[in-house]
A = this chain, B = another copy of it.
């Protein structure tokens, strides 16, 4: 009982070459374990300097068209990245009757919907485990294991670069610019780190996780995101003193039938499982009425680790029939979104103030007028360095924003407060 799965590989960079090597190494074991004979039969790669690097030269071509149309190929593995050429290739592959495995978060977060719709119409599969959190099998777990779990909350630490920087800052290794530079030296951050530190990378991944969790259409455009550039070493240390780690948090929530997906730096209580996710590791925290809460964590990037997710997808495509779980990936619902200002959050607020009597009363009054109650407050420094660090109880963001606007207008307050949400 053996079945051949013929793979056309698009892209032979870090992940592509790792996928090829992994398939070669595990071929015999996988055949024995699953009865599937996985073969990479063609590699499409523009860069001719990569030809023959670890794979026979005659597998390579720079022409995608014939590979996408080749009736001998069962599964196209798209690892070229980007949103335009990759889109066309995936579309052509589906139309040619192939299943698709992709690691392309930008493609899915921006233009996934028409591809999922097309796959559904044609009864083909698109699998995308490697698009979020590397080796951590969060997509399969959400789509298949959580089928009856009725998830309402997905929190994710889905960017290793920012988690490395924030972990270093937590451990007092240095401030943000220093730790960003160190991340770049270690290869954890790119020369232009904007996508990572600015939150866009996390936002794309959270769009995907939100879509899968709630079976609804969430694209990049629906995800408000903030990065970690405004988080200072002092903020992280104040948070630590109060019993929190600072994490760049992705939060996808279903509130009364409405979806809200965002990315922001947040205070995570030290006894929360996500507080213990350090360095370049990723983690996803799922909540639902049936499961209570489940956490998955592991390496979020790396060619080797990501290739494990790609191979699992290839095997899943090879091992499943054309029934079941297909509509899941097309996000068949179109739920409304919940505006940010209607969400409830507790806030960490750090504000520079004049060092004189009555300041605290004025600030407390401003919060009170907006119905925002204060959970804890620390006064730090004095004279020119006087600061208040507050944590509020959860309240509507509309109200806490109004309270902060009111505080800014007080004569005793200097500058705009630094605020972060609390998980």
Q: Beta-carbon contacts of A316-356 to B below 8 Å, as 1s and 0s?
A: 10111101111110001000000000000000000000000
Q: Which residue of B lies closest to A34 (CB)?
A: B324
Taking a contact as CB atoms under 8 Å apart, the answer to whether A292 and B135 are in contact is: yes
Q: Beta-carbon contacts of A141-161 to B below 8 Å, as 1s and 0s?
A: 100111111100000000000
Taking a contact as CB atoms under 8 Å apart, the answer to whether A308 and B148 are in contact is: yes
Q: A294-B136, A308-B149, A327-B34 are in contact. Are A316 and B26 (CB under 8 A)?
A: no
Q: Which residue of B lies closest to A142 (CB)?
A: B137
A35 to B320, CA, bound (A): 14
Partner of A327 from B22, B32, B273, B302 at Cβ < 8 Å: B32
Q: A147-B30, A294-B298 are in contact. Are A319 and B324 (CB under 8 A)?
A: yes
A361 within 8 A of B: no
A153 to chain B, nearest CB (A): 14
Partner of A325 from B291, B319, B324, B327 at Cβ < 8 Å: B319
Q: In the complex, which residues of chain B have a beta carbon less than 8 angstroms from the beta carbon of A309?
A: 145
Q: In the complex, which residues of chain B have a beta carbon less than 8 angstroms from the beta carbon of A325?
A: 33-34, 315, 319
Contacts A34-B324, A320-B321 supplied; 18 other A-B pairs, CB < 8 Å: A1-B123, A26-B150, A30-B147, A33-B327, A35-B326, A135-B290, A135-B294, A140-B140, A140-B141, A140-B145, A141-B145, A144-B316, A148-B308, A290-B305, A292-B302, A294-B296, A295-B296, A315-B324
Q: List 11 A-B contacts (CB under 8 A).
A: A22-B148, A34-B328, A36-B324, A141-B145, A144-B315, A148-B312, A290-B307, A318-B323, A319-B321, A320-B321, A321-B321
